[in-house]
Structure 1
Amino acid sequence: MFQRVPSRSSRTSPLRTRAAVLAAGLGVSVALGAGVATAADATSASSAATAVQAQAAAQAKAAKTAKTAKTAQAVKAAAKKAAVAKKAASWVDPVKKYTLSAKFNQAGSRWQSTHSGQDFAVPSGTPVAAAHGGTVVKAGPNGAGDGPAYGNAIVIKHANGTYSQYAHLSRIDVQVGQVVGTGQHIALSGSTGNSTGPHLHFEIRTTPNYGSAIDPVAFLHAKGVTV
């Protein structure tokens, strides 16, 4: 009777089987580790790209804000410069809150011929302003040289070849040769000279002297001043 002996090829060594399983497991681990590493790298790259984009957006926004602020500042500066230029070129009323009384060329016993200016009825001590920028060419009592009827008076020469006169003043706050701006304080109103009550006598002249006056209200109207 023969005993069957298993062939060597049909038998599987437990040790070999275990080695194969371990090898397979190691391959899976290596493959899984590579996949995890690849995913981590991709996530890191995406986060970096997002950070760069956010930084670029922030820088662009900051640059835009700075540009807007600079533009606004330039516009504001230009507007201020234009306002100053406009004020320098404009004319204004010599006093505020007044009542018009005796008018230009008005006849009456108070004047040798006719009234040479426009009277602004205001309380004594009312601030008087230069109707336009210019240079003071006359300032003092006795009408600043035009006669005692004017009392204390001032005459200002303007760049356009005209002159403005302010009379019956209680106080003079400028001197001859002084340059004044449009609307600048020059005196206080009063009732000096030939005056029946406190008011400002205002003239527009073609020369600095008496006798060259023109209608001051019509002149101011032409300059855009509502009198």
Structure 2
Amino acid sequence: MSKFATSLKSGSSLIRTRTVAVVAGVGVSAALGAGVAAAATPGHAVTSAPSTVAESVKVQAAAQAKAAKATAAAQAKAAEAAKAKKSVTAKPVAAQKSTGWVKPLSSYALSASYAQAGGMWASKHSGQDFAVPTGTPVKSISGGTVVKAGPNGGGDGPAYGNAVVIKHNNGKYSQYAHLSKVNVQIGQKVNAGQLIALSGNTGNSSGPHLHFEIRNTPNYGSAINPVAFLKGVGVSF
């Protein structure tokens, strides 16, 4: 073989060797690049470098999918918490409406009751008695207009002593008797709970107390059960 042929054969071998080396180098670089990219993914621990570019892409896609899933779960949890908070928010409680009726006294002890029989009355008792000391404040049970006020039962007779009768907006009348002092006058407008008199022991009375009636008219003889009436308008004893 000539020197030229030998030289040419050697050159071809050298070229093939360099080509293989270059190709191998590219493969190594690609593998290392993929491994570095995977290791750079936040929250992803790489135990070994992927051997191919395709495998590296697969690892990154899996990491991104996991991150997206975690974000969606966090958003759903936040939305659920906001919904729960809204559902338990206390709604304003509507103010309780007043019935417009109150007791004639703030403190008392019940004594003789309506329709009770006894020697103190010509027939059965016409109202409800409240045992209280003389001078106890007496209140109007509801708004209305004073139609009777003064001694002699306000016109119903001496047995009642000093008395007051009030006509209410529903057409009923309330009567307060045996008073020591009258604080209102005929024609005066009064409100529920307003002071109208002081309790006493005047008239046909065996001791200090308030005699209280509910009437269908302003006059004696038209009384109904006062306790039952007040319970019917929301006032209990």
Class of the TM-score when normalised by the shorter of the 2 chains? 0.5 to 0.7
Q: Distance in 1 between matches of 2:134 and 2:233?
A: 27
Letter in 1 for 2:131: A
Query: What residue is the counterpart of 1:172 in the other structure?
Result: 182
Q: Give me the whole-angstrom Cα distance separating, in 2, the residues matched to 1:132 and 1:115.
A: 23
2:143 match = 133
2-structure distance, mates of 1:127, 1:159: 23
Q: Which segments of structure 1 move beyond 6 Å, counting only runs of 4 or more?
A: none
Report SS of the residue matched to 1:220. helix
Amino acid at match of 1:123: P
- Residue 208, structure 1, aligned to residue 218, structure 2: yes
Equivalent residues, number: 146
Alpha-carbon shift at residue 223 of structure 1 (Å): 1.0
Normalized against structure 1, the TM-score is what?
Answer: 0.62
Identity of aligned residues (%): 70
Letter in 2 for 1:173: N
- Measured after TM superposition, the shift of residue 99 of structure 1 is 0.4
Larger radius of gyration: 2
2:120 paired residue among 106, 110, 125: 110
1:154 alignment counterpart: 164
Q: CA RMSD in A?
A: 1.6
Written as runs of structure 1 = structure 2, the 5 A alignment for 1:192-207 is 192-207=202-217
Distance 2:231 2:186 in 1: 28
Post-superposition shift, 1:211? 0.2
Give ranges in structure 1 of 5+ residues lacking alignment. 1-74
Given the alignment of the two structures, is residue 218 of structure 1 paired with residue 232 of structure 2, yes or no? no
**Structure 1 match to 2:73:** none
Tell me the distance in 2 between the aligned counterparts of 1:123 and 1:132. Answer: 23
Higher relative contact order (CA 8 A, sep 6+): 1
Shift in Å, 1:97? 1.2
The answer to whether structure 1 residue 92 and structure 2 residue 98 are counterparts is no
SS in 1 for 2:227: helix
Query: How far apart are 1:90 and its partner, in Å?
Result: 1.8
Q: Which amino acid aligns with 2:136?
A: T
Amino acid at match of 1:201: H
Report the TM-score when normalising by structure 2.
0.59
* C-alpha distance in structure 2 between counterparts of 1:151 and 1:121, whole Å: 16
The answer to whether the aligner puts 1:122 opposite 2:132 as a matched pair is yes
Q: 2: distance between equivalents of 1:154 and 1:186?
A: 8
Q: Secondary structure at the match of 1:95?
A: coil
Task: Give a deviation string over 1:171-225, Cα, whole Å, max 9, x none.
Answer: 0000000000000000000000000000000000000000000000000111111
Q: Which whole-Å CA distance do the structure 2 matches of 1:226 and 1:159 have between them?
A: 20
Q: 1:95, CA displacement in angstroms? A: 0.5
Structure 1: how far apart are the matches of 2:195 and 2:107?
Answer: 15
Mapping 1:59-74, distance limit 5 Å: none
Alpha-carbon deviation of 1:128? 0.2
For structure 2, which runs of at least 5 residues remain unmatched after alignment?
1-91
